[in-house]
Amino acid sequence: MPPVEPRVELLSCTPNSVELIYAAFRQCYHAGFVADLWPLLLSGEIGREKQAEFIENVLSSGHVSPVEHVSFTFAAEGVSRALTHQLVRHRLASFSQQSQRYVDGGNFDYILPPAIKGNPEGEAAFSSCMEGLRKTYRRLKSLLEADGRGDLAAEDARFVLPQAAVTRIVFTMNCRSLLNFFEQRCCNRAQWEIRRLAHICLALCREALPVIFRHAGARCERLGYCPEGGKFTCGRYPVREQSFA
Ligand SMILES: Cc1cc2nc3c(=O)[nH]c(=O)nc-3n(C[C@H](O)[C@H](O)[C@H](O)COP(=O)(O)OP(=O)(O)OC[C@H]3O[C@@H](n4cnc5c(N)ncnc54)[C@H](O)[C@@H]3O)c2cc1C
């Protein structure tokens, strides 16, 4: 089987995102009604650079909630169920995932972890297990169909599908949730597959909205030290104790 690579596309981002975040921030500190400023923001009379500078200043004070008004929607394929099981733990997000009840899994592709790929005996065991699961899935599905389960046969046959099976998912997060997602999942301690996804999403976010995502990433990037502690640190940044010694 050819290696399965992740494909992640940015489907949508809230339009006029810089102006929207600026307007939300300004409403907090402005005596007037921000809707009256809105045309000036869109026309450029209050320039984007000025807006971005204002946003960066307020953000650095720790006031973050106005970035919640802007959301990003991604579509991902070529990722495993093991990955999406971790992804959907992020509750401040919306998800729509390809169903294993309605989509046949008889020829599922799978993700081969690099560490197993690098071990010929491990790779052979892994591939043979996947082939066995495909066969068992197909067998179970046809047995259930013969029992009259009809379209519902896949619903039970899917119980043998592995975490390695690839899936497709659409997910939406607002900027604040994304910043939290990147802090956790861009960390070198995060599991390799979701870390790879997080870095792809971060690159897309940086391109679309640099004012918010220019400095985003693992928590150490913001803190300037590693919050994981001496036992777990990857060594990229000094740990907290060293940093404040
Ligand atoms: C390296 C790593 C290892 C992990 N290992 C495990 C593991 O072994 N087992 C496991 O079960 N999970 C594990 N997780 C998942 C982790 O516990 C979180 O569920 C997941 O990362 C989502 O983070 P979150 O809650 O910050 O995000 P979200 O669910 O998107 O929430 C965002 C923020 O909203 C706030 N919030 C959301 N819900 C509540 C609430 N009910 N009450 C109060 N505040 C709330 C919090 O401030 C939270 O940070 C791991 C995560 C990482 C990064």
Is 165 in a helix, a strand, or coil? strand
Ligand 1 centroid to 98 CA: how many Å?
23
Q: List residues bridging with 71 in a β-sheet.
A: 174
The yes-or-no verdict on residue 155 having pLDDT over 70 is yes
CA-nearest residue for atom 30, ligand 1, is: 90
CB atoms within 10 A of CB 52: 18
Q: What does the block give as tokens for 164?
A: 């390695």
Q: Which DSSP letter does residue 69 get?
A: G
174-183 pLDDT tens trace? 999 999 999 9
Specify the pTM: 0.95
CA-nearest residue for atom 17, ligand 1, is: 89
115-125 pLDDT tens trace? 999 999 999 99
Q: How many residues does the chain have?
A: 245
